Amino acid sequence: MAQTRFAPDRGLTSRMVTTMFFIGLLYVVVVGVLVVLLKGAWVVVLLIAGALFVAQFWYSDRIAAFSMGAREVTPEQAPELHGAVDRLCALADMPKPRVAIAESDVPNAFATGRNQKNSMVCATTGLLRRLEPEELEGVLAHELSHVAHRDVAVMTIASFLGVLAGIITRAALWSGVGRNNRDQNAAIAVLIVTAVSVVVYAISFLLTRLLSRYRELSADRAAALLTGRPSALAAALTKVTGQIARIPTEDLRKAQPFNAFYFAPAFNKESFSTLLSSHPTLEQRLDQLGRIATELGRP
């Protein structure tokens, strides 16, 4: 990781390494099972698996940005947004990412990119309308922290295996591996592939959720320390969370699949299991920011 002035987080680094290790192990298991079951087509299996992984790594930022409606804007089109990003990048001593806006009334922001040179920071029109300049800078610093720490790339790659497992499961059920055989081999093969894929999906889902919650706290802390204004970030969190609750459910459901990438989740009900949540609770985030304000001697 290129050095920036964002506070390093060894806990985040160790969690990213652990997540990638287990995700890689799961990936090998999936491919290994397919190679064993499809002996006659093992070369094809390896080629397809490799191509999918490489494509996801190189094009994940574009896929994510397109899926969430991000539209890159110039400094002339969004001078205030670009100005905030310029100030924060100078403060953090990091390359400026591409800047984008998503046409959505849901107040939120996200970052994509496999590294600092291929990154994008995006804010929704709903966020830009609702936040004060200091609050907006706190949110943007939070997103830039994700880029600096490279946890955006890790999250994208980690999420990919779950998607791949789902595709394998559906393909196995639809095509019926070896269905031309009249013995029990076909049925056994389908069951094995389906069972392994379901297990892989479940494990990758839990791994990404555990990493996602920690990385949000890490980004909050890094942003608060960089800007020196934890109260501004806390105000933004409170305002965004409160405003999201007023957004029509239909719009929130459209945003929900991308919760892990957003500054604040579309849905974060207290009754929902914390084990499955993509973000820590608002209380946890505000409590951490309060402690940082005390450390910095800020009100």
143 tagged catalytic: yes
Measured CA to CA, the distance from residue 43 to residue 49 in angstroms comes to 10
Measured CA to CA, the distance from residue 234 to residue 76 in angstroms comes to 30
Measured CA to CA, the distance from residue 177 to residue 173 in angstroms comes to 8
Annotated binding site for Zn(2+): 142, 146, 216
Half-sphere exposure of residue 284, counting CA atoms within 13 Å on the CB side?
12
Q: Please provide the distance, in angstroms rounded to a whole number, between the alpha carbons at the two ends of the chain.
A: 33
Task: State the CB neighbour count (10 A cutoff) for residue 182.
Answer: 7
Position 79, amino acid: P
Closest CA to 165 of 244, 53, 248, 42: 53
Catalytic residue among 103, 132, 143, 283: 143
Annotated binding site: 142, 146, 216
| Residues noted as catalytic | 143
